[in-house]
Structure formats: structure tokens, C-alpha cells
Structure 1
């Protein structure tokens, strides 16, 4: 399906088909990334030291930096989708070129700063001895790959704005396969240990980032940009930053919030913290369809708002919510009787199995709420009203969940099971708040100045 056919499908096609066509590649890509994370952990774990712990230690820092790229990518996708919906392809091209230039510069700057501060960051996090050596070595090399990672984020945002979710899937899957091939070579063959794992990641990302960006200059790959669009236009740059910064803040504070949440959870004991980790790992697999649907919805909402078709944008939200709920409820009903067996694949201690099983079943009861949450996030990000999405992301964790867990950790008489219900309650409250924001209708306002212009063919 070419560029013009995809636009016609998004603006006029049967809505269920639209959501499925766009979301399935995202689901597949998310699944591939999950498999890669498990494989990468396997290879690193075979080294025999505390390398896995080192990677876990620095992951929140890595994600907090990545959040800036993710936010700008979301902004670019929202702007591009609305310009395409409004049939203003020259503006979509300009935004595409600007986000490539912006994220390349941001990636280089953060790479240099992060590389220089890696040791200090790891030391500040409390690492000493071999844990410090492994964590600082891994983090410094990963920082060197930030320009490539940010270029991949730019590519993903541009393609998602066009409604092309297949290209990011192909590029992401190819990078993962290459990474999985390089991991054992650098880790074991070259005997580089955890540094080899980081080098393999950076090489794979760099190769496919260069390939992905090069395709943006090819006519038959959708939006074609030229060197001219790469020259900074501060008006467009400021627009991307203003729309993207709330998403970046939401992503970064969420990553930091989960690190803080772990501190509170440890007060309930290691069993509770371990159960939380196991439950969330399983939950990430359950949530893949909803995350894919939310990502697809962002594109559909953006293009239809750009075309000034608010009715169809609302139809997309309703359809996505229904599909996500049906899939998640069905998955939950299937998993419920096998919850303990599933947990036993990740734990052998009876106390951890029992606590994890209880948490997983509460998560299963909450999956409709989590589906609604992903749909709301997709709606607000796709419409470019990223402050609303930031409110939901930050509010769920910092406004509700962390205060509740903190209170419970200091309230005598409450057992660890109460923590799981705090998780459920935070999802319920934030979905009600999000639905209230949705009902105001402000998300239906375009973030582009939709002046009549001559259409330019691609």
C-alpha cells in the first residue's frame, strides 16, 4: 500500500480495518523488542558476574535521556499527520526535515554530555566496586550511540505521521536481529564482556539509523525530504519543542517515578518487590495489543483532525477503545486460571509465587482500565495536545500511585497485598480523569494553522 493509498484508508476507510492495518506492525515490533531484551539479558547473564544488575541500574538513566527523543518524535508525528490530513504535504516535508536536524543535534549534545558524566552518574547512584566498573562502562558506550538512537526516533515519528507503521517495524526488527548476532561475538568471541554488549547495540542502531534516514530522501518511500528541509527553521523547531516537551517530561518522570516506586516497595520486603517485577514483565506482554492500538490511533486522530473531520476522529477513539477492551478482557479471561503456572516460569520460591500470582490477577482485572489509558494517551498525543497526555502519565504515578504506596508503607496493619490494590485504584482514578479531559473536546482543536494552500504532489 503506497503513501496516497494509506492516506485514503486513514481518512475514508472502514475504521476497524484502519486500526488493524496500522496497529499490527507496531504490536509485532514491540514483541520483537521484548524478545530481544530477554535474549540480551540471557547473553549478558552468561558472563557470570553482576553485569545484569549493572544494566538494570543504569536503565532508568538511559530511558530518561531517550525520553527527549521520544517526545520530539511524538510531536513530529502529530504535526506531520495533521498536515497530511490537511493535504499540505510541503509543510509535512518541512517538519520531517526539521525533526531530523533537531534530533541529530540533540543526540550529539546529550551523547557528549552523558559520556563525560557517566562515571559520576553511576557513582551518584551508589554503585561501587565491580558494579561501578560495569555500569559506568556500559552507560558511557550507550551514550555514544545516542545520535543514532535519536535519528531512529525521528524516522519513527515521520513514518508514523504518514501512517506507515511497517517501515519502523522492518528497521527495528532488522536492528534487533543484527544486535542478537553481534552480542555473542563481542561479548564472548572478542571477550569484551558487558562493554561488548553495549558496542553491539550501538553498531546495530547506527547502521540502521543511517539506512532509515537515507530512505527519507527517496521519492518512492513516502515523504521525500531534501537538504533544503534540513536547514533550521526556528519557527518549526520551536513548534516541535513546544508540542514535544510535555511528552518528554511525561516519559522521563515516569521512568524516574518507577525508580522511586521501587524504593517504597522494598519497604514491604524483597518478596513484594520481586512480585512487582515479575507481574510487570508478564503485564508488558498482555499490554502489547493495547499499546499498538494506541500508537495507531494517534496517527488516525492526527490525520482526521488535519482534514477537519472531528466526527471520524471520535469514531477512531471509540473503535480503538472497543477493540482494546475486547482483546484485553479476552486475554485476561484466558490467563486467569493459569496465572500461577505462568508465574512459576519466573519464580521458584513459594512466597514469591503466591504474591506474584495475586498481583497478576489484580493486573488482569485492571486490563480494561489500562487499555482505556493507552487509548487516551494515543488520542492526546495524536491530536498534539501532549500536556493532557503528560497529566495522565505523571498524575497516575506521581499524583496517585506513589503517594498511596508511601502512605501504605507507613500505615500499620496493611499487608503487601494492599499495594496491589493501590495500583488498581491509581489506574481507575486516572482513567476517570482522562475521560473527563476527553469530554471537554479540547483535544479536537488542530495544532496547525490550516490555511488554504496549493497541494504539492509527492
Structure 2
């Protein structure tokens, strides 16, 4: 598809007058498959590192909780990009598509480089001040995270590039690019960790190399799809304009706060888990978190598809079609949550034994999966309605819901239940489940006001 042509490939929302679950799936399933591949990558990483030992597994959990906070800042650019590019594409304003895309890429690169350097120089301080781990766990965590920070810029650029391509209604190309990237990562994991005996550092190097590959592939696709294979045209749009940047930040700022709130509290929760459950509890938390990624495969893919379809529909002024999208999206989300209740509630011990044989880790992990799934049911509303707000560019309500649920509610409750009520790790798990319920109630309230239907970006 050439962005300057008068005739364009139709997206699923344009091909059907009636929105059905099949319509949404046609746009969302490549995102879901991409999530499966990413989850498999995380699972394989966790499996390889867990086989190195409990200390390495705990160290990877510490590192992942830190990078989770840093890398999610990429939402500052990508959230604004998906709203602006998808709506401009729906309006057939392709000059804006070029301008917004170039600005987003330049902005993502600048922020990624700056954060990467800052975090690399302060990696030891970040680990020690937040987690205070044992010397051996701390050393493993530094070995891993210091390398990961060197590739921060590629994480930010990939986030922006993926969003730009998806905003055009093309969710298949990012699947192919990042799918191959994940395969490369898994192969390099095995080679570097076991064949070359590089240990936990090998996993980090494999991740950086795979991110570099996906960046090169994605930038080529954007050059072809949006800038007609014209490098000069691409460079001409690769500028940070004040007005465009302020619009991206205005939309992405709230979304970024929402996304950052969860991993920041997650990082602090991990610190509490380490304090209460030591390495065994931390390992269970890390493995359990990786397992829950599979629950969110359909939900995140669905949310992305909804945001694109809502953004394009609003660009065409078709509010009625948005309502149909949301109704069918909720059906898909509920079915997904029901299916995943089986392995995590009925067979949690078998799930944990895939990764580790330590009895204490398995025991902590079983309670983690069963308790938290009580809250996961309500993620149906946060992901579905969150996608609606994202596509509309109205990112304040999801941010407020996330801040209240995760910062104001979850973290203090976890400390109270774990220490004052002596529930230890189960207290942490209960606080996480309850926070999801609180977040769903808040976002549902804002959705019912219908402000997203008239929001101006």
C-alpha cells in the first residue's frame, strides 16, 4: 500500500457494514499472535535463566521489574502516535500521517537514547536502593540489566514504529517482524547461555541483538509504506516539531502515567516480595508474572485492535460503529478470561513445575496464580474500555483509574496485609487482585459518561 495513492487497501472496519467478532479478530489476531510469540520469548528466557539457579531467576525478576518501568515510558510517544496517525488516516490526511510518523520516530529515538545512558550509569544504585538484594543476586541483576540498558533506544524506536504501522490498519507486518525477532532471541539465548557459557549475560545480549534486528526491519517497512521508498522525504519529516510534539505529549502523557504506575508499583511490590519471601518468593513472583502474560495475549491484542478501529471510525465520524466494536470486543474478552481460568485456578502446580522444581517456589507460585486470578476477571473492562479511550485520544480516565488502583490502593494495602495482618506473600497477592477490581470500577464510570465520543485531539 502506497500512502499517497488515491486507492487504498481496505481495513477490516471498512470492509463490513456490520461489525462482528470476526471483524475485530481480522485486525486483532496478528497482534494476538505477536503477543503469543513475545510471551513465549519471555517464557523461554525465564526457563533458561531459571535453569541457571534460583539466584539467577530472582536477579532476572529484579531486572525485569526495573526495565518494565523504564521501557513503558515509550508509551509517552506511542499512545499519542496511535491516536493521531489512525485518526489522520481515517480522515485521508496523508500529509499529517507523514508528519506525525516522522516526529514520533525522532522523539522516540531522543528519549530512548537519553534514558538508556542515564539508567546505564546508575544501574547499581537503582538495584541497591530499591531492592537491597543479597550480594550474589545483586551482582547477577547488574550483569543482566547493564546490557539491557544499552539497547534502550531500540525498545523505544520499535514501540513507535510498531504503532505507526498498526495505525494504518496493518497489524500483520509487525507480527512478521517481531515474530522473527523473537525467534532470533530464543536461538541466541540457547547459544549464548549454554553453548558459549555466558550465563545470564548471554540472555541480555540476545535480547539487545533481536531488538536491533526488529528496528532495522520496521524502519524499512515505514520507509516503504509511508515515504514511498524516498529516504530524503523520510529524513525531511524526521523532525521534532513543537506543535506536533505537544499534541503527542498531551495524549501520551496521561497514557504514560497510567502505564508507568503499574510497573513502578510492581517494582516496589517485588521489593516487598523479596523482603517477605526472599529469593524463593521472588522467583515465584517472576515465573507467575510470565505465566499471566498468556492471559493478556487476546486482551492486549483486542485492546490494540479496538483502539485502531475506534480511532479510524471517529476520524470518519461514525460513532454508531464504535458502539458495535465495543459490544463485540467485550464478548471476546469474557470468553478469553473464562478459558484461562482452567490452567491457573485448577492446575497451577503443574504450570509452576514446568519452570522450577523447588517446593517453596512452587507453593508460593500456586497461591499467586489462584488468588490473583480472582482479580484478572475484571481486566476485561480495563483492557476493552482502555482501547476505546486510547483510540479516541482521551487517555486521562485510564490513567486516573490506574494511579488510584495501583499507587493509592494496591501498594499500601500490600504492606498492611503482608506485615500488619501477617498474611505475608498471600497479603501481597490479595492486594493485587483487589486493585484490578478498583481499576475496573473507575474506568467503567468514566466510560459511561461518553466523553470519549466527543473528545478533540
TM-score, normalised relative to structure 2: 0.86
* Residue 261 of structure 2: aligned partner: 253
* Residue 396 of structure 1: aligned partner: 405
Would you say the 8 A contact 2:50–2:355 is kept in 1?
A: no
* Residue 55 of structure 1: aligned partner: 60
5+ residue gaps, structure 2, are none
* Residue 153 of structure 1: aligned partner: 159
Mapping 1:145-224, distance limit 5 Å: 145-219=151-225
Query: Over aligned residues, Cα RMSD in angstroms?
Result: 3.2
Q: Partners of 1:354 and 1:189 in 2: how far apart?
A: 32
* Residue 452 of structure 1: aligned partner: none
Moved more, 149-158 or 275-284: 275-284
The answer to whether structure 1 residue 17 and structure 2 residue 22 are counterparts is yes
* Residue 120 of structure 1: aligned partner: 125
* Residue 31 of structure 1: aligned partner: 36
For residue 152 of structure 1, report the CA deviation from its aligned partner.
0.7
Would you say the 8 A contact 2:46–2:287 is kept in 1?
A: no
Q: 1:236 to 1:11 in 2, by over 3 A?
A: farther
* Residue 454 of structure 1: aligned partner: none
The answer to whether structure 1 residue 382 and structure 2 residue 388 are counterparts is no
The answer to whether structure 1 residue 68 and structure 2 residue 73 are counterparts is yes
Q: 1:310 to 1:141 in 2, by over 3 A?
A: same
* Residue 142 of structure 2: aligned partner: 136
SS of the residue 1:217 aligns to: helix
Moved more, 61-70 or 435-444: 61-70
For residue 87 of structure 1, report the CA deviation from its aligned partner.
2.0
Moved more, 18-27 or 215-224: 215-224
Q: 1:360 to 1:8 in 2, by over 3 A?
A: closer
Would you say the 8 A contact 1:55–1:135 is kept in 2?
A: yes
How many residues end up aligned between the 2 structures? 448
* Residue 440 of structure 1: aligned partner: 449
Q: Partners of 2:199 and 2:146 in 1: how far apart?
A: 14
For residue 46 of structure 1, report the CA deviation from its aligned partner.
4.8
Would you say the 8 A contact 2:39–2:290 is kept in 1?
A: no
Determine which of 377, 380, 390 is the counterpart of 1:371. 380
* Residue 455 of structure 1: aligned partner: none
* Residue 305 of structure 1: aligned partner: 314
Moved more, 78-87 or 198-207: 198-207
* Residue 325 of structure 1: aligned partner: 334
For residue 264 of structure 1, report the CA deviation from its aligned partner.
4.2
The answer to whether structure 1 residue 409 and structure 2 residue 413 are counterparts is no
For residue 109 of structure 1, report the CA deviation from its aligned partner.
1.7
Tell me the alpha carbon deviations over residues 136-157 of structure 1, each in whole angstroms, 9 at most, x when there is no partner. Answer: 3332222221222211111111
The answer to whether structure 1 residue 238 and structure 2 residue 246 are counterparts is yes
The answer to whether structure 1 residue 7 and structure 2 residue 16 are counterparts is no
Would you say the 8 A contact 1:283–1:363 is kept in 2?
A: no
Determine which of 78, 88, 93 is the counterpart of 2:98. 93
For residue 343 of structure 1, report the CA deviation from its aligned partner.
4.9
5+ residue gaps, structure 1, are 449-458
Tell me the alpha carbon deviations over residues 240-295 of structure 1, each in whole angstroms, 9 at most, x when there is no partner. Answer: 12211222222222111012223445676568766655554433222321222112
SS of the residue 1:216 aligns to: helix
Moved more, 243-252 or 213-222: 213-222
Would you say the 8 A contact 1:86–1:308 is kept in 2?
A: no
Q: 1:378 to 1:287 in 2, by over 3 A?
A: same
Would you say the 8 A contact 1:7–1:85 is kept in 2?
A: no
Tell me the alpha carbon deviations over residues 121-142 of structure 1, each in whole angstroms, 9 at most, x when there is no partner. Answer: 3343435644444333332222
Q: 1:332 to 1:188 in 2, by over 3 A?
A: closer
Q: Partners of 1:334 and 1:61 in 2: how far apart?
A: 28
Would you say the 8 A contact 2:43–2:291 is kept in 1?
A: no
For residue 187 of structure 1, report the CA deviation from its aligned partner.
3.5
Would you say the 8 A contact 2:12–2:26 is kept in 1?
A: no
Tell me the alpha carbon deviations over residues 370-404 of structure 1, each in whole angstroms, 9 at most, x when there is no partner. Answer: 11221122122221111212112222211222233
Q: Partners of 1:128 and 1:417 in 2: how far apart?
A: 23
The answer to whether structure 1 residue 286 and structure 2 residue 291 are counterparts is no
